[in-house]
């Protein structure tokens, strides 16, 4: 029986390895800063942040150091758990960096990252105002708000490169910018990323108001893109060289760019299915200049520069593709659920099922006369001249 004692002790020690640490904005808790908690944590540990605004050294530029830890808010409310990077041209900072091969067990949940500003240094360290993922790092990011961050040369909200493959769900990218280059929300170079149930609103860049990709494989599922702007091309997505991209059950509405008001493919191949591309402004809805776009069960309608034109002109009427008013319930208040008589709901489109990111949310007749006029009125003032 004596020989069982050390075996039992080892088993108990192994099972007790995961700990939860508390960090508060005023420096109290188990550690004074978020970085101090990461430095001390072991794989499997959880770092919980109390509500409030985290500022200053140790609460920005947070490096996961390869640790399989989870950082999350205690309240599960990202709006009230804020990482304020306080970045500026004179004092550059971002929220988080993953650069040590972190895997899916490295998690970030339920926080807001704001006021990141990154511009100088060697690429890619000069990109990714909110988060930078590089060197085959693939964290899991859930219910994070990226708001008001700037990556001057790319990835205003987030930059992914070097074989990184992050997974994002229920995240929001709001008013992030890449004013001198590509991807206001998310830039990807030699990367693979998966986005589910994410929202992109008011992001801006020279190319790819939300997404700029090259040599990458990206997938967006049930995502919403609203009011994003590219100064040159790709109001939502600019796909560059040898990309493979997928959009499924997404809604792209009210975005704008001179070329490809929603999508511009410059060398990659994009597959779009069960997706609404409607009321985007200035350029053609989908543009190809060396790349290709394949659509199935898509509704492309009401785009000021043209709907089924150019490289997708011959796809209208095939594979369930249509060009009809999707009949959103109340786009003026960002309610893009569908009227019950919408051609994009399963009952009216049995060949395809649900098209777009939202289900039925109102009765049919109330949506009919408001959609086209109100959407165009809402975005009539060009945002292409905004700083």
CATH code at 331? 2.160.20
CA distance linking residue 153 with residue 206, whole number of Å? 10
Residue 140 CB burial class (10 angstroms; 0-12, 13-18, ≥19): middle
Residue 24 lies in a domain: no
pLDDT of residue 106: 98
Residue 3 inside a domain? The answer is no
Cα dihedral 256, 261, 265, 270 sign: positive
387 is a domain residue: no
Question: DSSP letter string over 225-273?
Answer: EES-EEEEE-SSEEE-TT-EEEEES-EEES-EESB-SSEEESS-EEEEE
CB atoms within 10 A of CB 189: 25
In a domain, 146, yes or no: yes
Question: Is residue 361 within 8 Å of 333, Cβ to Cβ?
Answer: no
Cβ atoms < 10 Å from Cβ of 120: 10
Give how many domains the chain has, as a whole number: 1
Domain enclosing residue 270, as ranges: 59-378
Q: Is residue 175 part of a domain?
A: yes
For residue 265, what are the CA distances in angstroms to 59, 140, 293, 311? 38, 28, 7, 10
Asked, for residue 32, whether it belongs to a domain, the answer is no
Is residue 42 in a domain? no
Q: How many CA atoms lie within 13 A of 316 on its CB side?
A: 15
Residue 182 CB-density burial (10 A; 0-12 exposed, 13-18 middle, 19+ buried): buried
Q: In 3D, which of 199, 206, 201 has the Cα closest to residue 168?
A: 199
Domain-located, residue 53: no
Please state, as a whole number, how many other Cβ atoms lie within 10 Å of the Cβ of residue 364. 16
| pLDDT by residue, tens only, the chain of 387 residues | 333 333 333 333 333 468 999 999 999 999 999 999 999 999 999 999 999 999 999 999 999 999 999 999 999 999 999 999 999 999 999 999 999 999 999 999 999 999 999 998 888 888 999 999 999 999 999 999 999 999 988 889 999 998 999 999 999 999 999 987 665 677 777 688 999 999 999 999 999 999 998 888 899 999 999 999 999 999 999 988 778 899 999 999 999 999 999 999 988 899 999 999 999 999 999 999 988 999 999 999 999 999 999 999 999 999 999 999 999 999 888 889 999 999 999 999 999 999 999 999 998 764 544 455 545 554 444 444 333
Pairing of strands 328-330, 335-339: antiparallel
Question: CB–CB of 61/31 below 8 Å?
Answer: no
Query: What's the pLDDT at 244?
Result: 87
Residue 379 to residue 377: CA distance in whole angstroms: 5
Q: Is 156 left (phi over 0), alpha (psi -120 to 50) or beta?
A: alpha
Question: Model pTM?
Answer: 0.90
């Amino acid at each position: 029986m004596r020989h069982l004692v050390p075996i039992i002790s080892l088993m108990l020690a192994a099972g007790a390895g995961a700990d939860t640490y508390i960090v508060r904005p005023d420096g109290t808790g188990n550690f004074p800063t978020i970085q101090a908690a990461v430095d001390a944590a072991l794989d499997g540990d959880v770092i919980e942040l109390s509500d409030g605004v985290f500022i200053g050294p140790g609460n920005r530029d947070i490096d996961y150091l390869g640790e399989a830890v989870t950082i999350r808010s205690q309240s599960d409310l990202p709006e009230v758990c804020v990482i304020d990077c306080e970045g500026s041209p004179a004092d550059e900072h971002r929220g988080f960096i993953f650069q040590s091969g972190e895997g899916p067990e490295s998690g970030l949940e339920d926080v807001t990252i704001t006021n990141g500003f990154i511009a100088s240094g060697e690429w890619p360290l000069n990109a990714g105002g909110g988060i930078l993922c590089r060197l085959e790092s693939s964290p899991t990011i859930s219910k994070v708000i990226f708001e008001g961050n700037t990556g001057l040369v790319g990835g205003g909200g987030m930059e992914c490169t070097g074989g990184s493959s992050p997974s994002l769900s229920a995240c929001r990218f709001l008013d992030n910018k890449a004013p001198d280059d590509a991807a206001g929300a998310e830039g990807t170079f030699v990367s693979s990323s998966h986005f589910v149930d994410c929202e992109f609103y008011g992001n801006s860049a020279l190319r790819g108001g939300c997404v700029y990709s090259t040599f990458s494989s990206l997938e967006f599922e049930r995502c919403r893109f609203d009011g994003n702007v590219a100064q040159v091309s790709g109001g939502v997505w600019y796909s560059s060289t040898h990309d493979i991209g997928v959009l499924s059950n997404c809604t792209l509405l009210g975005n704008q760019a001179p070329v490809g008001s929603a999508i511009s493919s410059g060398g990659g191949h994009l597959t779009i299915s069960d997706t609404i591309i409607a009321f985007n402004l200035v350029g053609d809805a989908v543009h190809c200049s060396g790349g290709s776009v394949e659509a199935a069960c898509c509704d492309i309608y009401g785009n000021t520069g043209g709907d089924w034109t150019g490289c997708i002109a011959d796809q209208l009427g095939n594979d369930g593709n249509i060009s009809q008013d999707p009949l959103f319930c109340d786009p003026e208040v960002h309610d893009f659920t569908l009227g019950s008589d919408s051609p994009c709901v399963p009952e009216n489109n049995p060949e395809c099922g649900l098209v777009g990111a939202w289900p039925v949310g109102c009765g049919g007749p109330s949506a009919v006369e408001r959609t086209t006029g109100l959407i165009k009125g809402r975005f009539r003032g060009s945002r292409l001249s905004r700083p």
